[in-house]
Structure formats: structure tokens, C-alpha cells
Amino acid sequence: MITDRDDLIDVYLNCLERELASTLKHPQPVDTLFVGGGTPSYLNAEQLERLLTLLTKWLPLEQSGEFSIECNPERFTSDRMQVMQQSGVNRISLGVQSLEAEHLQVLERSHTADDVESVINRLIGFGLKNVAVDLIFAVPNQTLGDWQHTLRRVVQFPIQHVSTYGLTWEKGTAYWTRRLKEQLLPVAEEEERSMYEFCMEFLPTHGFVQYELSNFARPGFASRHNQVYWRGEPYWGFGPGAASYIDGVRATNHRSVTQWIKLTESGQSPVQETEQLGDEDRAREAVMLGLRQVAGIDLNAFQQKFHRHLCELAPTSWKMLFDELLLEEVEGWVRLTHKGRFVADSVMSEFL
């Protein structure tokens, strides 16, 4: 949430409550609630209880709703777990990233594989049984054998969901700087492809069905909150950098915590950018999001919603994508083929 600025935590929580009240006016029941975009478990138990109390006051969860919170294995104490359980949290997303000491060091994580196993077992003891883990592959110096070892151990944990992401090198990050200085070297493209291939082959054999490019879940445990995004449904977002999508308008708050606090305390809107999406923009975005899902896009539903056939958004490349076996149509749904998942970004760019 607020790295190295513990003095701002109470101010942050005050402002969050103010933003919720000024935006919503009155409590708004929701089907999914997700607390993330940082490390909520960094808060001590008392602060965490205050956060979850104000969220459930303004965004009460509907019966059988999904209430997720992102946590890191380090500093995840039992008193925090108890607060989550008592506050109605029913899904924990753990930022595990790796189980190998060397790669955890590269990723600047301080936990160990044993820490992860201990945290998961304690969560189960508190009745928090819907546990998801996030993993990163293609970490510098990681081999296919390292990645296979990590996945083989992960599936032995009592978890319900696994997310696997290839390491991204974004300009402006510490990883990018270290790469420029040749302190870190990216994994070879073919090796990264083999790691992703292993995810898709191995995880389903252990009960984790792939339902999105990077996500695998046991039946009935796919992330309902993420599916809200992928289906292009409306959502609210609160806090620094949070995005909302309401009535076709996307709004994004200031990312700077201090700027967000300053604006909120003064009664001004913390929103930095807004964008009104037109019909064609919404259609193209629906393709980008829909193709991320393994099931793909329902052609009839798409045409009814956007009043155009999907092929109209990529008239010059539509046939080519099928001829090259990157897309396929199955029972009225268009989806990426197995081959297409490796080049998903390139396929999606054809619809922009």
C-alpha cells in the first residue's frame, strides 16, 4: 500500500473512506470485492480490520459473493488471518512468485518455500480454504527444470487456483535498469515458450483447468472478480491508481499516494484521467478481453451487443488468423488455438 510511509496509513484510510462516501453516497451491494493493487497484508491487524470494515460498510457483499484479498507470504501473521476470516474474506491470493531461493532473491522477495507452505496451512486452519497462488516464470537464470520443480511442488499444496505470468521488462523499473547494465539477462525466448507449454500441459493433469491465458483453477474456483474485467462488465475502483468502468466511462485515479491524499482531503476528485468509450472502442476492447479467455467469444452474443460481426474488426487478417491455425471456431465461439496462445498479443493486435 504505502512503502516506507507508515505515518500515512491512517491518513490513507481516512481518505479511502471519504472517497467511498463521496462516490457511492450510500452502500452498494456487490457480487465480488477485491482488495489488492499493493500489499494489504502489510497493514497490522488493527489497521487491516479498519480497512475491511469500511469496505464492507460501503460495498456489502451479496450472499455467496467472492471477497478476495492479495497477500504476500512474508509478514502474514495469524492475527491478520483471523481479521480476514472474521471480516468475510473468502479468497486469498498469495504473491508466491517462486519457490527457488535464487529466483526469489532476483525478484526481491524475502520469503522461502517453507514459508509459503506454512502460510497456506495456517490459512486452511482459519477456514480460509480458497487459496490462489501467483507464480512468475522466465526469471533470469531460471531453467525449464527449475520451473518444473516449482510447479510440481505447488500442486501438492492445498490450493484451488494457480496464476502463471512470464516476467515482464517494463521501462522505468529496477529490472529494466539492471537489464541495461547487463546485471540481469532475459531467458531465451524458446526457453520461455517451453515454460509456458509446461504450464498448459502439467497443471490440467493435476486438476487445474486453464480458463484464461495465465490462469488455472480447480472446477468452481475460477476468479469471479477477474471475469468481471474479461467480460467487460462495470466495476468501481477506489484508492491511488484505481480504475473504474461505469456506463462506458473509464476513470483512473492519480497513482501518487500523496497526490491522491491531497485531492481527497481537499474535497476534490482524485480522478486523473477519464475516457468515454464509443461503440467501436468497446467492441475492440471486448475482443482483447474475450480472447484472453480459453472459451473465447460467443459470436451471436457479440453481434447482438455490438451490432457487428467479429470479423468486421479485422477484415484483412480474419482469414489469415484461421488459416495459420491461430484462431478457431467451435460451436459458435471463436477462440485462440493452443498455438495461438503463444502469440496471443500479436493475434489481438489484429483487432485494434
Question: Is residue 19 a part of any domain in this protein?
Answer: no
pLDDT for res 4: 65
Question: Is residue 176 a part of any domain in this protein?
Answer: yes
Do 71 and 171 lie in one domain? The reply is yes
Centre a 10 Å sphere on the Cβ of residue 260 and count the other Cβ atoms it contains. 23
Question: Is residue 278 a part of any domain in this protein?
Answer: no
pTM, entire model: 0.93
Domain boundary among 230, 259, 283: 230
Number of domains in the chain: 2
pLDDT for res 37: 75
Do 119 and 226 lie in one domain? The reply is yes
Alpha-carbon span 45 to 30, nearest angstrom: 24
Enumerate the β-bridge partners of residue 251: 244, 274
Do 223 and 302 lie in one domain? The reply is no
Contact 167, 175 (CB under 8 A): yes
pLDDT for res 180: 74
**19, 10, 13, 54: which is closest to 269 by C-alpha?**
19
The C-alpha angle 325, 327, 331, rounded to 5 degrees, equals: 115
pLDDT for res 170: 75
Enumerate the β-bridge partners of residue 271: 253
Alpha-carbon span 307 to 299, nearest angstrom: 11
Alpha-carbon span 99 to 102, nearest angstrom: 9
Grid cell listed for 351: 483487432
Rounded mean pLDDT for each run of 10 residues along the chain, 352 residues in total: 75 96 96 89 93 97 96 92 96 95 89 95 94 96 95 97 90 72 83 98 98 98 96 95 94 95 96 94 95 97 95 96 98 98 97 93
Question: Is residue 93 a part of any domain in this protein?
Answer: yes
Q: Could you give the maximum distance between any two Cα atoms of the chain, in Å?
A: 59
pLDDT for res 3: 59
Domain boundary among 205, 230, 255: 230
Do 57 and 189 lie in one domain? The reply is yes
Do 155 and 42 lie in one domain? The reply is yes
Centre a 10 Å sphere on the Cβ of residue 280 and count the other Cβ atoms it contains. 12
Question: Is residue 246 a part of any domain in this protein?
Answer: no
Question: Is residue 280 a part of any domain in this protein?
Answer: no
The H or E element that residue 338 is part of is helix 338-341
Angle between helices 78-86 and 113-125 (to 10 degrees): 40
Could you tell me the CATH number of the domain that includes residue 200?
A: 3.30.750.200
Question: Is residue 269 a part of any domain in this protein?
Answer: no
Do 323 and 204 lie in one domain? The reply is no
Do 317 and 171 lie in one domain? The reply is no
Question: Is residue 121 a part of any domain in this protein?
Answer: yes
Do 37 and 155 lie in one domain? The reply is yes
The range of the structural domain enclosing residue 80 comes to: 29-230
The dihedral through the CA atoms of 336, 340, 345, 346 has a sign that is negative
pLDDT for res 177: 74
Residues 6+ apart with CB under 8 A from 299: 309, 310, 329, 332, 333, 334
In 47-101, beta strands by DSSP E: 61-71, 91-97
Do 222 and 305 lie in one domain? The reply is no
- The DSSP output letter for 284 is H
Contact 286, 297 (CB under 8 A): yes
Do 312 and 171 lie in one domain? The reply is no
Alpha-carbon span 305 to 289, nearest angstrom: 15
Domain boundary among 175, 202, 230: 230
Contacts of residues 285-289 at CB distance under 8 Å and 24 or more positions apart, as own/partner, are 285/232, 286/232, 287/313, 287/348, 287/351, 288/348, 288/351, 288/352, 289/229, 289/230, 289/231, 289/232
Contact 223, 217 (CB under 8 A): yes
Contact 157, 96 (CB under 8 A): no
Alpha-carbon span 141 to 100, nearest angstrom: 11
Grid cell listed for 330: 467451435
Do 61 and 210 lie in one domain? The reply is yes
